[in-house]
């Protein structure tokens, strides 16, 4: 029996522990926002956060998740949309939208590491978008950085 949390809720799994987290989420937890694109950690469509860091869930067996905290796209907004989600909407980023959950999870992770990312830092993102939304992703990341900055300034002013 493996125990971990997904978006704050306790999960237990006693099935095949070689199952990648991606399939657990999609087939067993009813969380289909995390997408399957390649299955070999190449495309990033399946990106989630494990203990706060981006990870490609298609190659993460459930066996290694004991005690981990997992966040998926469905759990990213806490009460209100995350700054990255807001920026994605402002910039009208998605086309088909299939890669975008993974793109957003990867961008949130990037902004945690680099709150004011340079173009070179944005270039380290390797998530694939077959529709070619990269230019809008780039501008949305910059916009999200600005939004996050004004949000945290707002929080400090409130305190």
Partner 1 sequence: MSKQSPNVSPLRDWQQDLHDRSVPTVSTTHADRRSFLKASLTAAGALLITASLHPRRARAESSSSPGMLGFFVRIDTDGTTHIGARSPEIGQGVNTSLPMIIAEEMDADWARVKVKQMPMALKKIDEAPGIAWKYGPQGAGGSTSIPSAWSDLRQVGAKVRQLLLQAAASQWEVPVSDLRTEAGVVIHADGRRLSYANLAASAATSAWPEADVPLKDPKDFRIVGTAQPQVALREIVTGRAEFGIDARMPGALVAVVARCPHFDGEIESFDASAAKQIPGVREVLVLPGPKHGEPISANLATGVAVLADDSWAAIKGRRALQIRWKPGPYAQESSASLDRQCAELLKGEGIRCREDGDFDAAREAAARTVEAVYRVPYVSHCPMEPQNACVHVEADRVRIVAPMQSPSGASRVAHQLTGIDRFKIDVRMTRVGGGFGRRLSNDFVAEAVLLSKLSGKPIRLLWTREDDMRHDFYRPFGHHHLIASVDEQGAVSSWAHRLASASKYYRRPNVKPEDMWNPEIYPDDFPAQLVSNLRLEWFAVDSGMTRGSWRAPAHTANAFAVQSFIDELAVATKRDPVALRLAMLGEPRELEYGGHGGPVFDTGRLAGVLRRAADKIGWGRDPGKGRGLGIAAHFTFGGYAAHAMEVAVADDGSYRIERCVCAVDVGRPINRSGLEAQMIGGTIDGISTARNLEIHIRDGQVVEGNFDRYRLLRMADAPDVEVEIIDSEADPAGAGEMGIPTAAPALTNAIFAASGVRVRSLPIGPKIAAG
Output 37 or 68, the one with its CB closest to partner 1.
37
* Residue 74 CB, nearest approach to ligand FES (Å): 17
Q: Which tokens in the block code for residue 22?
A: 């991606």
- Which strands form 69-71's sheet, in the order they lie side by side? 9-13, 2-6, 69-71, 47-50, 53-56
Q: Is 76 in the site for partner 1 (CB under 8 A)?
A: yes
Q: Is 57 in the site for partner 1 (CB under 8 A)?
A: no
Of 49-57, 63-71, 90-98, 149-157: span binding partner 1 (CB under 8 A): 90-98
When binding is defined by CB under 8 A, the residue of 9, 16, 64, 146 that contacts partner 1 is 16
Query: Among ligand FES, partner 1, none, what binds residue 46 when CB lies within 5 to 8 Å by partner kind?
Result: ligand FES
* Residue 141 CB, nearest approach to ligand FES (Å): 15
Q: Is 135 in the site for partner 1 (CB under 8 A)?
A: yes
Q: Name the residues that contact partner 1, by CB under 8 A.
A: 15-16, 18-20, 23, 26-28, 31-40, 42-43, 45, 72-74, 76-77, 81, 85, 88-89, 92, 94-101, 104, 122-138
């Amino acid at each position: 029996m493996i125990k971990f949390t997904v978006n704050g809720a306790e999960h237990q799994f006693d099935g095949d522990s070689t199952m990648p987290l991606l399939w657990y989420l999609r087939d067993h937890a009813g969380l289909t926002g995390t997408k399957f694109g390649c299955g070999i950690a190449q495309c990033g469509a399946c990106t989630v956060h494990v203990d706060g860091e981006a990870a490609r869930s298609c190659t993460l067996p459930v066996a290694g998740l004991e005690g981990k905290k997992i966040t998926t796209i469905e759990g990213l907004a806490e009460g209100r949309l995350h700054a990255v989600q807001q920026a994605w909407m402002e910039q009208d980023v998605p086309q088909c939208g299939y890669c975008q959950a993974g793109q957003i999870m990867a961008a949130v992770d990037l902004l945690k590491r680099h709150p004011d990312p340079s173009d070179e830092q944005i270039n380290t993102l390797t998530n694939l978008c077959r529709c070619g939304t990269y230019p809008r992703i780039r501008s949305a990341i910059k916009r999200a950085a600005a939004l996050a900055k004004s949000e945290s300034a707002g929080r400090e002013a409130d305190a």
